[in-house]
Structure 1
Amino acid sequence: MSVTAADQIQAVEAYIAAYGRGDLEGVVAVFADNATAEDPVGSPPLVGKTAIRDFMAVGISMGAQLTLEGPIRCAGDYAAFPFVVTLDIEGQAMRIEVIDIFKFDDEGKVVEMRAFFGPENMKPA
């Protein structure tokens, strides 16, 4: 069985919602055990759910909030979605504009996450 666009959209929405609740286990639940995450693209990939959990825990502990900024786009085994991360860094409210791409396995779990953003996408909020 291959993953459907509806499955992909549901997984992305669950990821965003869990992050907003500070629900680390809910965030990690969308990932396959052998998933990789490159956040941002160009950084060394995180490999496996434990590494991804540790990485996500940092953002959640900082109070980062994720807000979708447009529709989720699905094509084949992939979903791409624009969103904004808002958080305080050393007392400064920041806004980071990101596009994530998730690749899904046949079970609807994310096997690859790639986050596209750079310094030009980081601004005071």
Structure 2
Amino acid sequence: MKPEDLPGKSMGAVQARDKETWLALFEDDAVVEDPVGGHPMLDPEGKGQRGKEAIGKFYDLFSSSGATMNFEIHHLVGCGTEAACLVTMTSTMPDGTSHAQKLLNVYKMSPAGKIASLRSFWN
């Protein structure tokens, strides 16, 4: 696996609402900062989610709204063990309303080919 493979696999699992497949992409001690710097609901302390248990709870939190999430990758660059991509995420709520958000995601791959860290920049 190459670092450039991680964004599509990660976002594909979220889009499919497949928590187990998404979690399996991460190292046991991985860190997710989504968004970097924190968020009042998702990460009030701004420290990110550390370890699979915390990452799983984060998944439950962001998926609890019932929204579907679709991703469009506009640009993807891999360098060394990392990949960065510019993405539009469109969330559609159960009532049909939707919201598009631009993201810059940076994935770091572990020696085992899993996600060691995911940093998502958005506001």
TM range (shorter): 0.7 to 0.9
Question: What is the 5 A alignment of 1:41-52?
Answer: 41-43=36-38, 44=46, 45-52=48-55
Q: Is the 8 A contact 1:24 1:60 kept in 2?
A: no
Structure 2 CA distance for aligned equivalents of residues 79 and 18 of structure 1: 17
Q: Which stretches in structure 1 are left out of the alignment for 5+ residues?
A: 1-5, 119-125
The correspondence for 1:59, drawn from 47, 55, 62, is: 62
Structure 2 CA distance for aligned equivalents of residues 78 and 9 of structure 1: 8
Partner residue of 1:72? Answer: 76
Question: What is the 5 A alignment of 1:1-125?
Answer: 6-43=1-38, 44=46, 45-61=48-64, 62-88=66-92, 91=95, 92-118=97-123
Aligned-CA RMSD value: 1.9
Q: TM-score normalised to the size of structure 1?
A: 0.79
Structure 2 CA distance for aligned equivalents of residues 40 and 12 of structure 1: 16
Q: Which stretches in structure 2 are left out of the alignment for 5+ residues?
A: 39-45
With 38-47 and 51-60 compared, the bigger mean Cα shift is at 51-60
Report the alpha carbon displacement of residue 40 of structure 1 after superposing the two structures with TM. Answer: 0.6
Q: Is the 8 A contact 1:64 1:85 kept in 2?
A: no
Aligned residues: 113
Q: TM-score normalised to the size of structure 2?
A: 0.80
Q: Is the 8 A contact 1:36 1:112 kept in 2?
A: yes
With 63-72 and 48-57 compared, the bigger mean Cα shift is at 63-72
Q: Secondary structure at the match of 2:113?
A: coil
Q: What per-residue deviation string (whole Å, max 9, x for no partner) do you get for residues 79-117 of structure 1?
A: 111222222469542111111101111111111111001
